[in-house]
Amino acid sequence: MATINAVKGFKDILPDEAGKWQYVEEKAREIFSGFGIREIRPPILEKTELFQRGIGAMTDIVEKEMYTFLDHGEEYLTLRPEATASVVRAYVEHSLFAADPAAKLFTIGPMFRRERPQKGRFRQFHQINVEYLGLDDPRVDGEIILLLHHFLQSMGIAGLQLEINSLGCPACRLPFRASILKFLEGKEEGLCEDCKRRLNANPLRILDCKEEKCHKISAPAPRLLDFLCRECDDHFAGVRAALDGFSLAYTINPRMVRGLDYYTKTAFEVTMEPAGAQNAVAGGGRYNGLVSELGGPDIAGIGFAIGMERLISLLPAADETFRSFPHLFVAALGSKAVENAYHLCNRLRMKGVWVEMDYAGKSLKSQMKRADKLCCRYVLILGEKELIDKQAALRDMETGTQETINIEGWEDTLLTKLKTR
Ligand code: HAM
């Protein structure tokens, strides 16, 4: 019968890789707890309207990349392409702001975008998301960027490049919009179809277009940074001062727009030398209008998401570092010994010791070979003679030395030995 493979762009995380994922997740939980960030787990399926309104109907994600379906003829649902809209939806739906608008939240899980699969780009990928709500001070922007940097650095990732920009607020975008539309007058024909269509609704998108011809046209375009209103300008200065205070190196990239429409003021991305902006390992920014856009009060927000596949591909530690191995192999010979070994193994397993044994009646030689292949540190040898003598042999596979242990009380002896090594 023909085999069935996974869907294109969807990837299995195999047991040998899982250790890296667990390491990254544990590190995230450990560091986030120090920053007082609590976990939230929104569902992966949402009403399509959430992303249309939240991310913006004219973004690439919403126009081209969402997995959307009509659920039994009733309503359109979408596999989440990102988590921010869902976190804010939950914050509003459960009035998490009622007692205290300030909330620091994180969520880890899969996202879905129907992009063209290529290196570092998948259709199901995973993100670590951090979202701060109800905190508008520029020092908060500095703190969240520091957190992102610290988290990536704590895993030994070198060559981090931080880029920041300010995308202003609706008040600064009005004059900017007029200016960029004027700049593009007579140049419309040279733009790609998407940009032509989006020109009037959101001219900022043109700066973000991946098409070479649009890039060329927009290169000398006016910069939003030059149109910031007083408040946004001060806020951006505050963010830069906070980063300087932490001695965090950054470059200002006035062309960074980010692919989602909810951003206001600070936007940032972390890329890796020499991967380039296409392969940002993390991105984020402030979204002060999103809570009210999704029906809540006027509450500020800022956050970031790290692409886990990209992060994991950058981990410097060797793959073996993340693998774990059995503590013990029990090589039993003869039915009575196998019976004893079987009970010993399961009692030790219930105490958290990883023990393996053979059930197929193999020779001692082939059991020793298997123990070696599994990289077991110790092998306990148990045959009919050992049962009569009430003593079993414990071999240290690393040093090649062997000792005898009394079968009476062996469970405790082994527990002490294996757990303290
Ligand atoms: P984003 O820039 O769309 O932002 O995605 C963040 C990160 O997710 C990217 O930098 C990248 O590492 C990873 N990523 C995105 N698409 C793919 C893909 N197709 N395959 C593999 N990795 C991918 C957001 O999603 C915002 N929600 C971030 C945010 C949180 N802003 C505020 N709060």
Q: What is the mean pLDDT of residues 20-26?
A: 97
Question: Strand locations in 18-159, DSSP E?
Answer: 38-39, 45-47, 67-71, 75-79, 103-112, 124-133
Q: Which of 126, 260, 288 to mutate to test the pocket of ligand 1 (most atoms within 8 A of CB)?
A: 260
Please determine, looking at this structure, whether the domain spanning 15-169+229-313 carries the CATH number 3.30.930.10.
yes
- Tell me which residue has tokens 């880890």: 108
Q: Which of 310, 311, 313 to mutate to test the pocket of ligand 1 (most atoms within 8 A of CB)?
A: 310
Q: Nearest-CA neighbor of 91 among 308, 282, 303?
A: 303
Give the pLDDT score at 276. Answer: 47
Give the pLDDT score at 420. Answer: 58
In terms of pLDDT, which residue wins out, 29 or 255? 29
Kindly indicate the confidence band of residue 419, based on its pLDDT and cuts at 50, 70 and 90: confident
Q: Does residue 366 carry a pLDDT above 80?
A: yes
Classify the C-alpha dihedral 318-321-323-327 as positive or negative: positive
**Local structure of 134: helix, strand or coil:** coil
Q: What is the mean pLDDT of residues 379-391?
A: 96
* Pocket flag, ligand 1, residue 141 (CB < 6 Å): no
Q: Nearest-CA neighbor of 124 among 258, 312, 308?
A: 308
* List of residues 6+ apart from 8 with CB closer than 8 A: 117, 123
Give the pLDDT score at 278. Answer: 60
**Portion of the chain with pLDDT greater than 90, in percent:** 85
Give the pLDDT score at 146. Answer: 98
Q: Which of 89, 111, 135 to mutate to test the pocket of ligand 1 (most atoms within 8 A of CB)?
A: 111
Expressed in angstroms and rounded, the spacing between residue 305 Cα and the centre of ligand 1 is: 6
Q: How far is CA 25 from CA 65, 108, 286, 306, in A?
A: 27, 8, 24, 11
Residue 286 contacts residue 265 (beta carbons within 8 Å): yes
Q: What's the CA gap between 195 and 233, in Å, rounded?
A: 28
* Pocket flag, ligand 1, residue 410 (CB < 6 Å): no
Q: How far is CA 261 from CA 144, 309, 383, 406, in A?
A: 20, 24, 70, 70
User: For the segment 263-308, what is each residue's pLDDT rounded down to a tens digit?
Assistant: 999 999 999 876 444 689 999 999 999 999 999 999 999 999 999 9
Q: Does residue 309 carry a pLDDT above 50?
A: yes
Q: Which part of the chain is CATH 3.30.930.10?
A: 15-169+229-313
* List of residues 6+ apart from 387 with CB closer than 8 A: 336, 337, 340, 407
Say which CATH class 325-419 falls into. Answer: alpha beta
Give the bridge partners for 1, in sequence order: none
Q: What's the CA gap between 150 and 147, in Å, rounded?
A: 5
Q: Which part of the chain is CATH 3.40.50.800?
A: 325-419
Task: Give pTM, 2 decimals.
Answer: 0.93
User: For the segment 337-346, what is each residue's pLDDT rounded down to a tens digit?
Assistant: 999 999 999 9
Residue 367 contacts residue 358 (beta carbons within 8 Å): yes
Expressed in angstroms and rounded, the spacing between residue 366 Cα and the centre of ligand 1 is: 49
Expressed in angstroms and rounded, the spacing between residue 394 Cα and the centre of ligand 1 is: 51
Of all protein residues, whose CA lies closest to atom 14 belonging to ligand 1? 307
Residue 207 contacts residue 225 (beta carbons within 8 Å): no
Residue 357 contacts residue 54 (beta carbons within 8 Å): no
Give the pLDDT score at 298. Answer: 98
DSSP structural state of residue 81: S
Query: Residue 217, Cβ neighbours under 10 Å: how many?
Result: 20
* Pocket flag, ligand 1, residue 54 (CB < 6 Å): no
Q: What's the CA gap between 242 and 145, in Å, rounded?
A: 10
Q: What's the CA gap between 350 and 100, in Å, rounded?
A: 43
User: For the segment 190-247, what is each residue's pLDDT rounded down to a tens digit?
Assistant: 999 988 888 888 888 888 888 889 989 999 999 999 999 999 999 999 999 999 999 9
Residue 54: enclosing H or E segment and its boundaries?
helix 48-54
Q: Nearest-CA neighbor of 62 among 75, 71, 53?
A: 53
Kindly indicate the confidence band of residue 318, based on its pLDDT and cuts at 50, 70 and 90: confident
Q: Does residue 387 carry a pLDDT above 60?
A: yes
Expressed in angstroms and rounded, the spacing between residue 127 Cα and the centre of ligand 1 is: 7
274: preceding bond cis by omega (within 30 degrees): yes
Q: What's the CA gap between 413 and 421, in Å, rounded?
A: 12
User: For the segment 57-91, what is each residue's pLDDT rounded down to a tens digit?
Assistant: 989 999 999 999 999 999 999 999 999 999 999 99
Give the pLDDT score at 18. Answer: 94
Q: What is the mean pLDDT of residues 23-35?
A: 97
Q: What's the CA gap between 361 and 276, in Å, rounded?
A: 56
Q: Cα dihedral angle (339, 341, 347, 350), rounded to 10 degrees? A: -110
User: For the segment 151-198, what is each residue's pLDDT rounded down to a tens digit?
Assistant: 999 999 989 999 999 999 999 999 999 999 999 999 989 999 988 888
Inter-axis angle of helices 230-245 and 138-154, to 10 degrees? 40
Give the pLDDT score at 31. Answer: 98
* Pocket flag, ligand 1, residue 129 (CB < 6 Å): yes
Worst-scoring range by mean pLDDT, 26-40, 212-226, 265-279, 356-370? 265-279
Residue 25: exposure state from Cβ atoms within 10 A (0-12, 13-18, ≥19): middle
Q: What is the mean pLDDT of residues 373-382?
A: 96
Expressed in angstroms and rounded, the spacing between residue 286 Cα and the centre of ligand 1 is: 14
